[in-house]
Copies of this chain bind each other. A is one copy, B any other.
Amino acid sequence: MRPIRYYYDLMSQPSRALFIIFRLSGLQFEDCAVALRNGEHLTDEFKQKINRFQRVPCIEDNGYKLAESVAILRYLSAKGKIPEQLYPKYFVEQARVDEFLEWQHITLRITCALYFRQIWLEPLLTGKTPSQQKIETLRQHMEGNLDIIEQVWLAKSEFLTGSHLTAADIFAACEIEQTRMADYDVRIKYPKVRAWLKRVRQSCNPHYDVAHKFVYKISGTGPQAKL
């Protein structure tokens, strides 16, 4: 049995989340970096042989191909590859982490990703910058969800689902870090998010900083400047 193949790009938020989780878990994997910027995921070969949805992250485990970061986390957890501190085995505790992982898709993830995409990526690709009104709308949608992180998820606990780090925190932090590249500074309005991000980074380092090296470089801010 060879180790799993992990296809990822550190510019992709869920790719970073799994990268950090794998490193924290001591999981051996074959490093298969995919350069999204060069369209390596858009070839017919990638579609046929690696991921029919032409996205990262994805894995191949001795012939079994699986996409979608949260599904991959659960699969590897069921195989005993992820410590239960990061993804609980007891179903009542697991449901709390699942609740966050399911909640984040069309709330935190989509709005942070759109903010990054339309303010940083699209202008780079097309040369066109969005209007002030558009930026404002994107910001409001994103902050609506950051408000919920600050006021609901972090209302009573040090981490999103309780008193210690889980996969939920890592997925959330990677989404929020993405907005740095579009010059958004989450620290200004969100003191709880700021302190929590610091805890997440400390709990995950040195892997957190390795995963975010391109984010730090592009945003022109080292981790110290931001956290």
Query: Which of A's residues lie within 8 Å of B, judged by CB?
Result: 52-53, 64, 66-72, 74-75, 78-79, 91-92, 94-95, 98-99, 101-103, 105-106, 109-110, 148, 152
Contact of A64 among B53, B75, B92, B102 (CB under 8 A): B92
Tell me whether B74 and A98 are in contact (CB under 8 A): yes
How many identical chains are in the complex? Answer: 2
Partner of A102, one of B68, B110, B148: B68
Q: Is the CB of A148 within 8 A of B53?
A: yes
Residues in B whose Cβ lies below 8 Å from that of A74: 91, 94-95, 98
Q: Please tell me if the beta carbons of B95 and A71 are within 8 angstroms of each other in the complex.
A: yes
Interface pair B105/A67, CB less than 8 Å apart: no
Q: Of B68, B102, B109, B152, which contacts A99 at CB under 8 A?
A: B68
**Is the CB–CB distance between B109 and A106 below 8 Å?**
yes
- 15 A-B pairs besides A53-B103, A78-B95, A110-B110 with CB distance below 8 A are A53-B148, A64-B92, A66-B99, A68-B102, A69-B102, A70-B102, A71-B98, A71-B101, A74-B98, A75-B91, A75-B95, A79-B91, A102-B105, A106-B109, A106-B110
Tell me the smallest distance from the CB of A13 to a CB of chain B, in Å: 12
Question: Cβ of A53: which chain B residues have Cβ within 8 Å of it?
Answer: 103, 148, 152
For A67, what are the chain B residues with a Cβ–Cβ distance below 8 Å? 99, 103
A68 touches B152 (CB 8 A): no
A101 and B98 alpha carbons, distance in the complex (Å): 12
**CB < 8 Å: which of B64, B78, B106 contacts A105?**
B106
Report 6 cross-chain contacts, Cβ distance below 8 Å, ordered by A residue.
Answer: A70-B102, A71-B99, A74-B91, A75-B94, A79-B91, A102-B105
CA distance A103 to B91 in the complex (A): 22
Q: Could you tell me the distance between the alpha carbons of A3 and B78 in the complex, rounded to whole angstroms?
A: 29
CA–CA, A210 and B37, complex, Å: 48
